[in-house]
Chains A and B, each alone.
Chain A
Amino acid sequence: MAHQILIHASTASGMTTVEALVKHPMDSGFVKDKAGKIIPPHYIEVIEFTHAGKVVLTGFWGPAVSKNPFIKFSFKGGKSGDPISVSWVDNKGEKASVSSNIM
């Protein structure tokens, strides 16, 4: 299954702002499908952002995070061209990662 992650990072006056959009169903386990069967929970548990090998944010998510999650945060430092990467692992053990560069 293709797990898409879109990540965009830009730096301005010493702060780097990161925006990420992760493609994931984030099924809570409370919703039934058309046949009335409960869709089992399937959600990202841990998501981590690193800048040049250093962790800049660790997120723990429950099933209450929206489908195809979006997150925006910022950190001090970082310059154009620096590597930035994001990885996640979900409750089924599926994982994905992507790396990009600060704009």
Chain B
Amino acid sequence: MTKTLSMMERSPRRREVLLGAAAGAAALVVAPAVLTGTAQAAVTADAAAYPAKAFAQTTEAAALKIMYGGAPTHSAAVKMNAPDIAENGAVVPVTVDTSMANVTSVALLAIDNPFTMAAAYKIPAGTNPGISSRLKLAKTTKVVSVVQSGGKLYSASKPVKVTLGGCG
């Protein structure tokens, strides 16, 4: 009798376990989908906001004038990190950071690239101005980081020697 009871107790539990396993399998199917981007979120990126004209310039001064309406002054408070020598110009890691407050924008320029402006970021309040990304450098060039803080522009630069051009 005790045996039968325990059997009866066990059977719903077994069903729970099976259900749990099924749910687990479903979760496994869903989880990679979320990570690999098939799960759609609202597209908030607005193509109309793109400063296309600034990106079409071939000099630093012209690009910054269109982007920010001014020219930067050199500042030691703008920190940047890029390799001295890039063996592969197609993937050059560049990091910009600053201790300045009220940073509203950060831009990266590769002076000797076909188009000078490489990337620009809008920094809302609460976001750290330190950004790492990877750039393509067509040849050995000076890379300039520009930080807009309190409406003023500050910059730092670093030469990067490219041994294999990354125009691609």
Contact = CB atoms under 8 A, between A and B. Distances in A.
Interface of A: 2-7, 15, 26-28, 30-31, 45-48, 50, 54-67, 69-77, 85-89, 93, 95-100
Contacts, number: 167
B119 interface: yes
A55 B122 CA distance: 10
B128 A99 contact: no
Size bracket of the B interface: 35 or more
Given A31-B167, A77-B126, 15 more contacts: A5-B37, A30-B167, A57-B122, A57-B131, A59-B120, A60-B119, A62-B117, A63-B115, A66-B133, A67-B91, A72-B133, A75-B128, A85-B41, A87-B44, A96-B43
Given A62-B118, A97-B41, A98-B37, A73 B128 contact: yes
A94 to B, nearest CB: 10
Given A28-B167, A58-B121, A73-B131, A6 B115 contact: no
A100 B35 contact: yes
Nearest to A45: B50
B8 interface: no
A71 B167 contact: no
A70 B122 contact: no
A65 B133 contact: yes
A16 to B, nearest CB: 10
A95 to B, nearest CB: 5
A65 B39 contact: no
B43 A97 contact: yes
Contacts of A5: 36-37
Contact of B39 (A6, A71, A89, A99): A99
B127 A66 contact: no
